[in-house]
Amino acid sequence: MTILSFALIGCGSSALPDKPLFVGVSETDYKQGTALIRSRLQARYPEGSAEQELADYLEQQGLRVDREEREASVRYGSVLCGSQVRVNWTVNSTPSIAKIDALYSDTGCP
């Protein structure tokens, strides 16, 4: 049973989704990858864009979207020492995009 448990740790996605948002990101460090993802999202969905379109796009790009919390994420690699992308956004009263932020980072290694 212990062998099976350790084998399952490695299961799951081993790379970022093969989608346009992430092209070239895994070849960068976390700081550059964060800037690349953020700039792509901000260019595609500038202030005033429809929130629904952003959320739909993030789902199409392979992220799990929580529309109530206004965040999306994807994790890949090892469960113990993997990588992640998180996207958060805020809206104004209409509701349209007020701000988009992104983070590409490790998941924290023990």
pLDDT at 107: 84
pLDDT at 20: 97
What's the domain count of the chain? Answer: 1
Residue 11 has pLDDT above 50, yes or no: no
Side chain identity at residue 30, one-letter code: Y
Vertex 78, ends 67 and 100: CA angle to 5°? 30
Question: How many other CB atoms sit within 10 Å of the CB of residue 19?
Answer: 13
- Domain for residue 70, yes or no? yes
β-strands 97-106, 71-77 pairing: unpaired
pLDDT at 8: 39
pLDDT digits (tens, 9 = 90+) for 20-50: 999 999 999 999 999 999 999 999 999 999 9
- Domain for residue 82, yes or no? yes
- Domain for residue 10, yes or no? no
| Range name among 13-22, 61-70, 72-81 with the lowest pLDDT average | 72-81
- Domain for residue 6, yes or no? no
Residue 90, domain extent: 19-106
- Domain for residue 9, yes or no? no
Mean pLDDT of 84-104: 95
85-103 burial: b if 16+ Cβ within 10 Å, else e: bbbebeeeeeebbeebebe
Q: How far apart are CA 87 and CA 13, in angstroms?
A: 19
- Domain for residue 79, yes or no? yes
Q: What three-state secondary structure class fits 106? A: strand
- Domain for residue 5, yes or no? no
- Domain for residue 76, yes or no? yes
Residue 110 has pLDDT above 80, yes or no: no
